[in-house]
Every structure is written in structure tokens, then in C-alpha cells.
Amino acid sequence: MNNPKPPPLKIEMVHDLVCSWCPIAYHNLETAIDNLNMAVDFHFLAFELNPNMGTSGELIAAYFNRQFGWDPHKLFSYQKSLVATAAKSGVTIDFSKRKFYYNTHRAHLLMHWAQSINKHIGLYERLMRAYFSEGLDISNLSVLLNIAEDAGLERREASAALSSKQLENALEVKKQGYKAFNINGTPAFILNETELVSGSNSVDFFENVLQQYQQTQPLPNNI
């Protein structure tokens, strides 16, 4: 009789599409999963860091000055360190192109739709390149539809999804799923809807967490 295998681990990533640390965490977790040869069921949960941001976005330099009082020197030092950290995780952040923060509601709506047809991983990775490497305005409808096409999605269907009130309501309902965890920042990961792992952690950290969590889960009954 074969030893039973554990079911795929459900992982939900609470993220925002302009959060600098989210793609770093995503790639580190992805590497940890590959290293452990784990079966996972991966999902995304929208968390809008700046839900009231206008359609034209805001310069990153202006944002950090307004929020934290940072001068250009401090921002440059932070960005230099961030770029180096991201590169170690296989993530490219190009601040010569990525100059703005944007409202991410529409992009999250597109992600929610893509997840319903199991195209969310490819779309997420394309959105990350578009924003962090290419500096594209991911709040812009035409830009988002181009990105959707690049990710193998039908442009007309993507356009319909972005104007769907039903999908909009479903996304809002989905956001309520992590309220009990009192999450106030990104990135964060919810394992099997029960355990929260916060922060952009190292590959080793994620490996240890996943191994320890997996060891605590009951195996399915033998048949």
C-alpha cells in the first residue's frame, strides 16, 4: 500500500501590486516551494495600500517626502539597497523607469478575474515586470489590457471583466476573507486559511516555515 501524500498546501498571498517587497517575497517563497518539491494551491488576496490615490498616481519621491519626510538622499539610499536585495531574489526593479505609485484597484480586479480562470500566476508575473522593470502605469485601462494579452488572456474578456459590477462585488467579498488576521501591511501569506506568515522573508525562512507547518498537518486516511 502506498504512503498517502498530503494534499496541496493552500497559500494565499496578501499583496499590493506596487508593494516593492511583494515580488521579493513571492520569488523567495517560490524558490522555497521548488526546493522542497511541495505541491501548493497558490492564490492572491488584494490589499490596496493607497486606495484613495488619484488616477494620475504620485511620484515616489513626493510620496516618501509626504509620508515620512524623506529627502532625496535618504530615498536614493533606500532604493539602492532595495534594488540589491531584489536582485538577489531574481527581481528587477528599475527606478529610472519606475517613478510613480499608482492606484491598483483596477489591476487587482483583473487579477481576481484571471484567478477565476486559473491564469493568475502568469498575469501576476507579467504585472510585476510591467511595473517594477518597465515602469508602466498599471492603473491605465489600455496598459492593463495590453498586459493581459501578453499574459495569454483574451483582451475582450479582460475588458468585460474590468467593467463587471458582479466581479467588483466578488472582489470586495474576497477581501473580507483576511480581516480576521488583522493584516495592516504587505506582503503576508495565509496557509490553509489558518496560519499567517508576514513579511518579505528569505528562502531559508520560508523553507523552515513550510516544513514545520507541513509536519503538523494530518495525512489523509489510507484507502
Please, are residues 188 and 198 in contact by the beta-carbon 8 Å criterion? Answer: yes
Please, are residues 93 and 83 in contact by the beta-carbon 8 Å criterion? Answer: yes
Task: Write down the pTM of the prediction.
Answer: 0.92
Residue 155 domain flag: yes
- Per-residue model confidence (pLDDT) at position 3: 57
User: In tens digits, what is the pLDDT along the chain, a chain of 223 residues?
Assistant: 455 677 899 999 999 999 999 999 999 999 999 999 999 999 999 999 999 999 899 999 999 999 999 999 999 999 999 999 999 999 999 999 999 999 999 999 999 999 999 999 999 999 999 999 999 999 999 999 999 999 999 999 999 999 999 999 999 998 887 888 999 999 999 999 999 999 999 999 999 999 999 888 665 554 3
Distance CA 50, CA 113 (A): 21
Residue 49 domain flag: yes
Residue 220 domain flag: no
> Concatenated DSSP letters for 174-195?
HHGGGGGGT--SS-EEEETTTE
- Per-residue model confidence (pLDDT) at position 1: 45
Residue 175 domain flag: yes
Distance CA 212, CA 49 (A): 31
Tell me the C-alpha to C-alpha distance, in Å, between residue 42 and each of 8, 39, 54, 92, 122.
Answer: 9, 10, 31, 22, 12
- Per-residue model confidence (pLDDT) at position 223: 39
Please, are residues 10 and 193 in contact by the beta-carbon 8 Å criterion? Answer: yes
Distance CA 194, CA 176 (A): 15
Number of domains in the chain: 1
Picking from 180, 55, 46, the residue whose alpha carbon sits closest to that of residue 120 is 46
Query: Domain containing 166: what range?
Result: 9-207
- Per-residue model confidence (pLDDT) at position 55: 87
Residue 115 domain flag: yes
Residue 169 domain flag: yes
- Per-residue model confidence (pLDDT) at position 216: 81
Residue 71 domain flag: yes
Kindly give the residue spans of alpha helices, DSSP state H, lying in the chain.
21-36, 60-68, 72-88, 105-116, 120-128, 141-150, 155-162, 165-175, 203-216
Residue 3 domain flag: no
CATH code for the domain in which residue 99 is found: 3.40.30.10
